[in-house]
């Protein structure tokens, strides 16, 4: 904690927003993306966005294979990039001998996206791993779930499924028990992000994601739409949690992770918080950068 705060102070006093040099367009425009492709594209539902990309290590890799469930970000919005944004991260993990199940899902702007569709899609996508595990020699006892930005929120939500209230439309048995959840510039508190992240994702995005207007009761209890959608309202999660943030991230500032860590500790959970120097928002999913390398290393470490 002390080191984390010191890094934040140094960042604020010695650097500017110009340190965020990498954009998602620069990632998508890399010519290598054309040849960086998954081994399989597998549907878990009938809609066009209900599928996962399965990235497998070379056939010579000894199995059964540990599994990384990877959930892309993009503000939960249909008009922003999908799994292609984390293709380089998937490929790097594949080269390190693990299988990657990179999920996409209906988002706000897609037919059926938002509540409950986005959440049900992610849950169904994770559950589909059980249908393909034997065919692809996947070891679901060695699995972690991770995601970037909005995908980091959904990764934490997946790990918190056993904490969803019984009355919720999202309630179901947890299909995979994960060794750890790793939020990469993740968003653990939707109510808080609706305020501080409005500049990045839009004023109404979180409301649309959670169907907040329709689900807020007449007495005005504003936290109700977050009880089954926001990990911060579902604490303690009872699973190992790791949050990784770039110190110059202006989209999901590292203070968001620090705030959640404090709340999680009060609930009895332990959350490891890692601040990555010289990093904005997108370096974390660019494994050719030092912050991206650190993310890959932490995911691999969590699988052990």
Mean local confidence (pLDDT), 102-120 = 98
Q: CA-based angle 109:110:111, to the nearest 5?
A: 120
**Do 83 and 71 contact (CB within 8 A), yes or no?**
no
- Alpha-carbon distance of 265 to 156, in angstroms, equals 16
Local structure of 95: helix, strand or coil: helix
pLDDT of res. 61: 86
* Average pLDDT of the residues of the chain: 92
Q: Lay out the sheet containing 138-148: strands in order across.
A: 40-43, 51-55, 99-103, 65-71, 138-148, 180-184, 240-246, 271-276
Query: What 8-state DSSP symbol labels residue 160?
Result: T
Which residues, in sequence order, are bridge partners of residue 241? 181, 271
> β-pairing, 51-55 with 65-71?
unpaired
* Cα atoms found within 13 Å of the Cα of residue 146, Cβ hemisphere only: 29
pTM greater than the 0.85 cutoff: yes
pLDDT digits over 34-61, tens only?
999 999 999 999 999 999 999 999 988 8
pLDDT of res. 282: 97
pLDDT of res. 247: 95
Give the domains, in start order, of the chain with CATH numbers: 2-303 (3.40.50.1820)
Q: CA-based angle 244:245:251, to the nearest 5?
A: 140
pLDDT of res. 60: 84
Three-state SS annotation for 213-267:
HHHCCCCCCCCHHHCCCCHHHCCCCCCEEEEEEECCCCCCCHHHHHHHHHHHHHH
């Amino acid at each position: 904690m002390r080191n984390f705060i010191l890094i934040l102070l140094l960042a604020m006093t010695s650097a500017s927003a110009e340190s965020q040099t990498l954009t998602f367009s620069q990632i998508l425009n890399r010519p290598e993306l054309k040849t960086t492709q998954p081994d399989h594209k597998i549907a878990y539902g009938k809609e066009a966005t209900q599928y996962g990309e399965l990235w497998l290590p070379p056939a010579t890799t000894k199995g059964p294979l540990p599994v990384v469930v990877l959930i892309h970000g993009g503000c939960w919005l249909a008009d922003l990039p999908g799994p292609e944004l984390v293709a380089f991260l998937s490929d790097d993990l594949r080269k390190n001998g693990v299988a990657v199940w990179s999920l996409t899902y209906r988002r706000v702007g897609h037919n059926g996206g938002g509540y409950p569709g986005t959440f049900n899609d992610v849950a169904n996508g994770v559950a589909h791993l059980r249908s393909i595990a034997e065919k692809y020699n996947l070891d679901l006892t060695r699995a972690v779930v991770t995601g970037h930005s909005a995908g980091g929120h959904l990764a934490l939500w997946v790990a918190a499924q056993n904490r969803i209230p019984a009355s919720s439309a999202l309630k179901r048995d947890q299909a995979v028990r994960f060794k750890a959840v790793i939020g990469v510039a993740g968003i653990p508190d939707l109510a808080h992000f609706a305020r501080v992240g409005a500049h990045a994702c839009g004023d109404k995005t979180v409301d649309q994601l959670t169907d907040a207007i329709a689900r807020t009761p007449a007495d005005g209890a504003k936290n109700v739409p977050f009880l089954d959608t926001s990990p911060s309202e579902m604490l303690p999660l009872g699973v190992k949690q790791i949050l990784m943030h770039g110190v110059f991230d202006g989209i999901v500032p590292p203070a968001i992770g620090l705030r959640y860590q404090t709340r999680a500790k009060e609930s009895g959970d332990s959350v490891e918080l890692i601040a990555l120097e010289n990093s904005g928002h997108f370096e974390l999913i660019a494994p050719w950068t030092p912050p991206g390398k650190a993310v890959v290393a932490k995911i691999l470490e969590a699988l052990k």
